[in-house]
Amino acid sequence: MKLPELFLERMKGLSDFDFNAFEKTYDRPAEAGIRLNPAKENGYTLFKEAFGDLERVPWCEYGFYAGDADIRGTHPYHAAGLFYFQEPSAMCAAELLPLCGGDLVLDLCAAPGGKTTQLAANKNITLVSNEIIPKRCRVLSENVERMGFGNVIVTNETPERLAEVYKGMFNKIIIDAPCSGEGMFKKEPAAAEAWSPEHVASCAVRQRKIIDSAMELLSPGGAVVYSTCTFSESENEENAAYIERTYPYMKQLRTEKLYPHIVRGEGHFAVLLKDMREEKNNSGARGEDKRADNEFAGLYREFEKKYLNVSLDGDFIMFGENLYLKPGGIPVEGIRTPRPGLHLGTCKKGRFEPAHALAKYLDGKAFRFSVNFGREELLTKKYLHGETLPGDFEGFGAVLCDGLPLGWCKGSGGILKNRYPKGLRLY
């Protein structure tokens, strides 16, 4: 592929750098990666049976190189949230962030959701996943839902607005900053076309503004991972130095810079910094959200007793007719919040309608009624196409693929009416 001449000149000028080997990587296809969802029971066994024993990505426990395997987004296991397509080197940043139970974590620039879904697999944290662009925020929410996570709040705000509301609240933050995308040239040729020294410089300025907001959001004693998918020192090492210089209590602990001629990946930069101030008791948010009326929570409880084998605990909150189970510790009032937690369903006209997100969150054994089909079965494909299925139960139940929930159906008279969302159907 054709690369910007000024970009090549800059890379050629790096010391102790094998430019020829670097340039040759652009003659081969981009590396494709798959990251398994550890929250899915028996996931690795199912994945291996379907696609073989793929080579692992060395810096990510659940990461694999796709290689020549025919793995597509139309596969039922993708719909079931068993895996996420992610460029291998991009998996390194989230792995650097040390997580502990009870952490309040912020993914500040989160869409489309690679790092969010990587972090959220730790069910013992509460994660706020923010994206400023509404269209990208919808994609982020869809990926969180597909992967079946209930510990994520998706927000659609500027970093500055988050800093106003959540000042000093998060003890772990990841900043996967918008960048010039030099590590994405093969995957996204438009990034190469848009590249210029001026664009790199403007990205660095924008990144520092985001960093400044992140520092306001960080609680004393916390940790930050700053990352990009570019090679520019002005966007990478110089911004890491900016953090230490501007906020002297921050200390770099580890840095990873992945080049495509050194590792099997397209390129990424990530640095872990620790806040060396004395850690304070992070008691969470100032203020609480208004809980759902007992009427709405009661409608869900009735549904739960009738159709589920589990009982969910937590804060029930209403957004319009929508009932959510919100992770604790973080209020959402006054913040644009497309997904304030796990969407349980809608409450209207005295009845409860379960949300697709609830089916994706639950384990296959959690449903009182279900049908289970194999990944190659025609009935699995029919369900994902939106067709009705045969079944012998009445009311709501789940359609499973090899034990993994795909979504809801509703039985009546020997027919299971399809409740798979129309926008997700494979036509």
The catalytic site residues sit at: 229
To 5 degrees, how large is the angle CA 106–CA 93–CA 67?
A: 130
d(CA 400, CA 368): 12
What are the backbone dihedrals phi and psi of residue 121, each rounded to the nearest 5 degrees, phi first? -60, -20
Token code pair at residue 268:
């990424």
Do residues 251 and 273 lie in contact, with contact meaning Cβ atoms separated by under 8 Å?
yes
Q: 3-state SS of 340-370? A: CCEEEEEEECCEEEECHHHHHHCCHHHECCE
The residues, any chain, with a CB within 8 Å of residue 285's CB and separated by 6 or more, are 166, 169, 329, 330, 331
d(CA 172, CA 415): 48
Q: Say if residue 112 is preceded by a cis peptide, omega within 30 of 0.
A: yes
Give the residue among 93, 79, 73, 84 at the shortest CA–CA distance from 37: 84
